[in-house]
Amino acid sequence: MELKAENLAKLLHGTVDGDPKATADSFAKIEHGKPGKLCFFANPKYEHYVYTSKASIILVNNDFKPKEAVSATMVRVENAYAAVAELLKYVSAQKKRNRRHRAFTARWHFSTKFGKKVYLGAGSYVGRRTVVGDFTKIYENVYIGEDCTIGSNCIFYPGVSVYPGMKIGDNVIVHSNAVIGSDGFGNVPQPDGTWEKIEHLGNVIIGNNVEIGAGTTIDRAEMESTIIGNGVKIDNLCQIAHNVVIGENTVMAAQCGIAGSTKLGKNCILAGQVGIAGHLEIADNTTIGAQGGVIGNIKEPGQTLLGSPVIPIRNYMKSYAKFKRAGQE
């Protein structure tokens, strides 16, 4: 896709500093800039690449003042990092223009309801009485069970499994091999030492503008619902257990695990490999560092916590300094 500097300026509400007819047909990091590439500069430590880059176009902040000559055409925007994110989204959307398609080997039922321009890839299955919203894309080998509700403008990448009875909002992205609605890990010990499975009859409710990473599993509730709020972003290989509630705009990196019936507040940040025990409550705006272990309620909002079990970052750094000194003795 050809990107012209003057058109980029209009799209990103910026201005052109250089040749408005300069064009690029692909993206590159600024240190790899070559003719025909579009790069961006936002981090000051990469400034020297601006002067050596052979890229055709570079997105820069409005307040950037070059100390040397710049050969590339610069498109000045309010925030170069945010602008490139917006541009990548725009280009991706252009490549995925909506078209109605139902592959010959896809399967659905007469009671299945599809909205406008739904894409259904080869080998996919959509169950009885399921409703799929407008412009949703269900790629190859996706399973969506009966009695589900799927919103508009969703994307289900190959290999996704959605169990019966799930409810998914608008603009949801589910990456390959994610599983929505598997049974929670519930078993009752028996007198003879065996375990009796607890049946899970609830569902999963996913809000709008949610993204779920590849290989992530979200378990259905025993009763009622596991709930993923609007704007939640979940990375790859995460485990969300039964009856968990995740508040709006919370994000979690890869390999996080949340045990059953825990409630996360809004706007929380979980770094990689965070583990949270069951039946806890985590306050809004909580940040938990990588490999943090949470074994108790977090009642005060806005804290940053580290360690296992987690403690406030200031206390952790003091403790770490003592550990480090002890290790050097």
Tens of pLDDT, residue by residue over 3-14, are 999 999 999 999
Q: Work out the end-to-end distance of the chain between its first and last CA atoms, rounded to an integer number of angstroms.
A: 60
Q: Is the pLDDT of residue 98 over 70?
A: no
CB under 8 Å to 178, separation ≥6 — which residues? 160, 161, 212, 213, 214, 215, 216, 217, 218
Pairing relation of β-strands 57-61 and 37-40?
A: parallel
Q: Is the pLDDT of residue 318 over 90?
A: no
Q: Which of 13, 101, 109, 242 is catalytic?
A: 242
pLDDT at 320: 81
- What is the C-alpha to C-alpha distance for residues 166 and 147, in angstroms, rounded to an integer? 7
Three-state DSSP class for residue 300:
coil
Q: Is the pLDDT of residue 329 over 90?
A: no
pLDDT at 327: 67
Tens of pLDDT, residue by residue over 99-145, are 678 888 999 999 999 999 999 999 999 999 999 999 999 999 999 99
Tens of pLDDT, residue by residue over 48-96, are 999 999 999 999 999 999 999 999 999 999 999 999 999 988 888 776 6
Quick one: pLDDT band at residue 41, thresholds 50, 70, 90? very high
pLDDT at 255: 97
Six token digits for residue 314: 């200031």
Q: Render 107-175 in DSSP notation, one character per residue.
A: B--TT-EE-TT-EE-TT-EE-TT-EE-TT-EE-TT-EE-TT-EE-SS-EE-TT-EE-TT-EE-SS-EE-
CATH 3.40.1390.10 domain position(s) in the chain: 3-95
Phi, psi of 309 (to 5 degrees): -70, 155
Q: Which option is the CATH number for 3-95: 3.20.20.10, 3.40.50.720, 3.20.20.410, 3.40.1390.10?
A: 3.40.1390.10
Taking a C-beta distance cutoff of 8 angstroms, is the pair 286, 298 a contact? Answer: yes
Arithmetic mean of pLDDT, 26-31: 93
pLDDT at 95: 67
Tens of pLDDT, residue by residue over 194-253, are 999 999 999 999 999 999 999 999 999 999 999 999 999 999 999 999 999 999 999 999
How does the average pLDDT of the chain come out, rounded? 94
Does residue 242 have an active-site annotation? yes
Quick one: pLDDT band at residue 321, thresholds 50, 70, 90? confident
Q: Which helix (H) or strand (E) holds 187?
A: strand 187-189
CATH 2.160.10.10 domain position(s) in the chain: 101-281
pLDDT at 83: 94
Q: Is the pLDDT of residue 97 over 70?
A: no
Phi, psi of 293 (to 5 degrees): -115, 125
pLDDT at 94: 73
Long-range CB contacts (< 8 A, 24+ apart) of 296-305?
301/265
Q: Render 201-242 in DSSP notation, one character per residue.
A: --EEEE-SS-EE-TT-EEEPPSSSEEEE-TT-EE-TT-EE-T
Taking a C-beta distance cutoff of 8 angstroms, is the pair 31, 101 a contact? Answer: no
- What is the C-alpha to C-alpha distance for residues 11 and 288, in angstroms, rounded to an integer? 37
The CATH code belonging to domain 101-281 is 2.160.10.10
